[in-house]
């Protein structure tokens, strides 16, 4: 596996600030696209192993842990799954991708996603996510 510097910035319409994190990630080029593996956590107790797959026209985020939820983005596509807020508590989650741009070059990948998020049947609002992968 090779290494990359991964930066993900998320923002919500109406929120004052975006939330951003940067981490080192192992990655592989597969037939399905660029696959990255990294850990997400606010504390050691809630660490979640995450797999990010950036394809030609889609992005998949899969989380293995007690909290979080998988996310799939493809332009003009709705994805439905469960969001795990804590062990034993889940909410329906629906994502409608409004736009998706993915650009690749020899230095890495830049992706931008716009989507509508619904939790438990209620709209959370318009969301955005920027992903930057810099090959090391």
With b for 16 or more beta-carbon neighbours within 10 A and e for fewer, the 62-101 pattern comes to ebeeebbbbbbbeeeeebeeebbeeeeeeeebbbebeebe
- Domain with 115 in it: what CATH number? 2.40.128.20
Q: In the structure, what pLDDT confidence band is assigned to residue 10 with cuts at 50, 70 and 90?
A: very high
Average pLDDT over residues 99-121: 96
Transcribe 3-46 into DSSP letters: EEEEEEEEEETT-SS-EEEEEEEEEEEETTEEEEEEEE-SSGGG
Specify the pLDDT at position 1. 79
**What residue numbers bound the domain in which 48 lies?**
2-135
> How many domains, in total, are found in the chain?
1
- pLDDT band of residue 39 (cuts 50, 70, 90) is confident
Residue 80's pLDDT is what? 94
Is residue 46's pLDDT more than 80?
A: no
**Phi, psi (degrees; rounded to nearest 5) at 132:** -130, 125
Position 119 pLDDT exceeds 80: yes
Over residues 3-10, the mean pLDDT reads: 96
- Residue 64 pLDDT more than 90? no
The position carrying tokens 């290494």 is: 3
């Amino acid at each position: 596996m090779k290494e990359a510097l991964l930066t993900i910035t998320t923002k919500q319409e109406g929120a004052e600030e975006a939330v951003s994190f940067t981490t080192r990630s192992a990655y592989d080029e597969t037939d399905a696209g660029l696959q990255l593996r990294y850990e997400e956590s606010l504390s050691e107790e809630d660490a979640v192993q995450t797999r990010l797959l950036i394809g030609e026209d889609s992005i998949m985020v899969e989380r293995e842990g007690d909290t979080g939820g998988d996310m799939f983005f493809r332009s003009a596509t709705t994805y439905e799954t469960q969001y795990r807020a804590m062990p034993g508590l889940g909410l329906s989650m629906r994502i409608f991708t409004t736009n998706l741009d993915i650009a690749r070059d020899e230095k890495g990948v830049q992706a931008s996603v716009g989507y509508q998020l619904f939790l438990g049947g209620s709209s959370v609002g318009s969301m955005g996510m920027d992903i930057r992968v810099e090959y090391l």
